[in-house]
């Protein structure tokens, strides 16, 4: 699995956009980039994934660098409920070997 580097923590204000970076310089050509988040005392939940093109869904946007060695998860208007640990996970998918979670980024939202 590709090694990832994420900031340990980030802080943002409510109702402002948040950009969460992830470096994955050893990513393989077939790896999708997945983002999960974990709210306090809960199991992880899927946020978004992508391969090469930028992706949008109701929760967030994912911007992927042209060389695919980094990506950025964008929360367009953070709410207090977005306070969580965010994990960036490159994975080829379709396999049975689970996901490799690093320590992620602890996102703190100030009211």
Partner 1 sequence: NAGVTQTPKFRILKIGQSMTLQCTQDMNHNYMYWYRQDPGMGLKLIYYSVGAGITDKGEVPNGYNVSRSTTEDFPLRLELAAPSQTSVYFCASTPRDSYYYEQYFGPGTRLTVT
Query: Tokens representing 16?
Result: 């402002």
Q: Is 43 in the site for partner 1 (CB under 8 A)?
A: yes
Whole-angstrom Cα distance, residue 109 to residue 105?
13
Figure out which of the listed residues 25, 56, 93, 108 binds partner 1, where binding follows CB under 8 A.
Answer: 93
Figure out which of the listed residues 34, 62, 84, 105 binds partner 1, where binding follows CB under 8 A.
Answer: 34
DSSP-assigned states of every residue in 14-56: TTS-EEEEEE-TT--TT-EEEEEEE-TTS--EEEEEESSS-EE
Figure out which of the listed residues 46, 76, 77, 108 binds partner 1, where binding follows CB under 8 A.
Answer: 46
CB 9 within 8 A of CB 105: yes
Q: Is 35 in the site for partner 1 (CB under 8 A)?
A: no
Q: Is 102 in the site for partner 1 (CB under 8 A)?
A: yes
Q: Is 1 in the site for partner 1 (CB under 8 A)?
A: no
Contact residues toward partner 1 (CB under 8 A) are 32, 34, 36, 41-46, 49, 87, 93-94, 96-104
């Amino acid at each position: 699995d590709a090694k990832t580097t994420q900031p340990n923590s980030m802080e943002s204000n409510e109702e402002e956009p948040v950009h969460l970076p992830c470096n994955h310089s050893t990513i393989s050509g077939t790896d999708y980039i997945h983002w999960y988040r974990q709210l306090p005392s809960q199991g992880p939940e899927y946020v978004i994934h992508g391969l090469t093109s930028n992706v949008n869904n109701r929760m967030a946007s994912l911007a992927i660098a042209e060389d695919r060695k980094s990506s950025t998860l964008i929360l367009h208007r953070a709410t207090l409920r977005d306070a969580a640990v965010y994990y960036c996970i490159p994975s080829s998918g379709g396999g049975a070997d689970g996901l490799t979670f690093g320590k992620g980024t602890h996102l703190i939202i100030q009211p």
